[in-house]
Amino acid sequence: MKQLRLAVLAGLFVGTGVLSWAAARLWDAFGTLPAVPLAAPIVLAVIAVILMATALSLRSRLKAQRERRPGAKGVEPLMAARALVFGQASALVAALVSGGYGGVGVFLLGSLDIPARRDQAIYAGFSVLAGVAVIAAALFLERVCRLPEDGDDAGGGATGGAGGPGRAHA
């Protein structure tokens, strides 16, 4: 599985932001701009919390497994792969959604004197912050699920093997 690249996520964010800013200008010229839903930052924040909880859980389980603690619960490779795919997909979608709300938010900065537009700009700003939190949590989850580099014991990491990073080679 390929690693997420921060440059790709930033490119998606900026590209979507520019497109949504232009679309917001066009839409506003023809009528009323669609509202930024209050649920947008809430949903993104919930996804960020789920990703972070998953990453912390996997990290503690992998650490216990590496230290060979009695009763350590191993990590199934398929579960780690599913978590990783969920994290990567969430980061890509969050970059797109955050860019979209960011573009609309930048457009709304020109009319903060109108209370309804000010509220929409605040929701858009919180959506961007929550999207960044999703991306950060996904990158952390990806780091937790990373397998040991070549030359390390082949059985460590999320595969549940006997070794782990830092073990001496025979």
Residue 162's pLDDT is what? 40
Residue 151's pLDDT is what? 45
Classify the C-alpha dihedral 170-65-156-152 as positive or negative. negative
Look at residue 164 and tell me if it is in a domain: no
Look at residue 135 and tell me if it is in a domain: yes
The total number of structural domains that make up the chain: 1
Structural domain for 56, as ranges:
6-27+36-147
Look at residue 159 and tell me if it is in a domain: no
Convert the pLDDT of each residue in 72-90 to its tens digit: 777 788 888 899 999 999 9
Residue 56's pLDDT is what? 93
Residues of the chain with pLDDT under 50: 150-157, 159-170
Look at residue 134 and tell me if it is in a domain: yes
Rounded to two decimals, the pTM is 0.81
Residue 69's pLDDT is what? 73
Convert the pLDDT of each residue in 121-130 to its tens digit: 999 999 999 9
5: three-class secondary structure by DSSP: coil
